[in-house]
Structure 1
């Protein structure tokens, strides 16, 4: 690879990586706004393992989806569009668990039931994998 191409590639990497970090920060706030429990308070103040596992799975699932968007996008605008789609899909994953699979998930997370956190994390990671795979167009 020639020098100008290398510099262009590094700039593209920086743009995609930087935007990915912004997306993860936005996701953290968006996801926290959708969930009725305060993950950060549960994790930081109460050392709630179930909340940490569930929220960690949400972040990993979203990052997997973002990686699919980055790998398959043709431009930054395309990446931002698919990143927004991933954000919505990951949020819907929580709502699916809350209202369909485990209607008492919020109470179980707040009670520090590790099994509930694991199921929430597993669902979020599964949705992230499916999300990333479906972005391969």
Structure 2
């Protein structure tokens, strides 16, 4: 018996929109940070990889929640935008806590990067949970 692929178009639409939001987040995040994270990562800077990885997880957690609970693509797009804004606000809060964050990341300070990543992930998880109401 063949599997039922009738929901494949919905899967493709949600998956595509999710990947689009991930690309938008990566682009915006990298554009907004003063350090050149991708160049730093290419040169072996672990702090940049940790910091960027935490930001990505912090964003993807609420995006996954939005994908699971949205009723249509517009709903997903709106909640994806909320996830992006909340993660940007978290990034601003991290900058307030660590004023020289960019310099610390450039100098490969992994302790600062882990702290920044944990804050981004924690905010993302709270954001994701708030989307399940």
Supply the distance in 1 between the matched residues of 2:52 and 2:6 (Cα, whole angstroms). Answer: 35
Supply the distance in 2 between the matched residues of 1:103 and 1:83 (Cα, whole angstroms). Answer: 28
Of 26, 46, 49, 1:49 maps to: 46
5+ residue gaps, structure 1, are: none
Displacement after TM superposition at 1:54 (Å): 0.4
5+ residue gaps, structure 2, are: none
Supply the distance in 2 between the matched residues of 1:65 and 1:108 (Cα, whole angstroms). Answer: 27
- Other-structure match for 1:8: 6
Displacement after TM superposition at 1:123 (Å): 0.9
- Other-structure match for 1:103: 99
CA deviation digits over 1:63-108, x for unaligned, max 9?
Answer: 1110011111111000000001101111111110002x21121111
Supply the distance in 1 between the matched residues of 2:128 and 2:5 (Cα, whole angstroms). Answer: 28
- Other-structure match for 1:124: 120
Supply the distance in 1 between the matched residues of 2:52 and 2:70 (Cα, whole angstroms). Answer: 27
Displacement after TM superposition at 1:9 (Å): 2.0
Verify the 8 A CA contact 1:16 1:70 in the aligned structure 2. yes
Any runs of at least 4 consecutive aligned residues in structure 1 with deviations exceeding 3 A, and if so which? none
Supply the distance in 2 between the matched residues of 1:34 and 1:96 (Cα, whole angstroms). Answer: 14
Displacement after TM superposition at 1:31 (Å): 0.6
Aligned length: 132
Displacement after TM superposition at 1:47 (Å): 1.1
TM normalised by structure 1 equals 0.90
- Other-structure match for 2:60: 63
CA deviation digits over 1:5-54, x for unaligned, max 9?
Answer: x433222111111111111111111011211111111111x211000000
Cα-Cα RMSD:
1.5
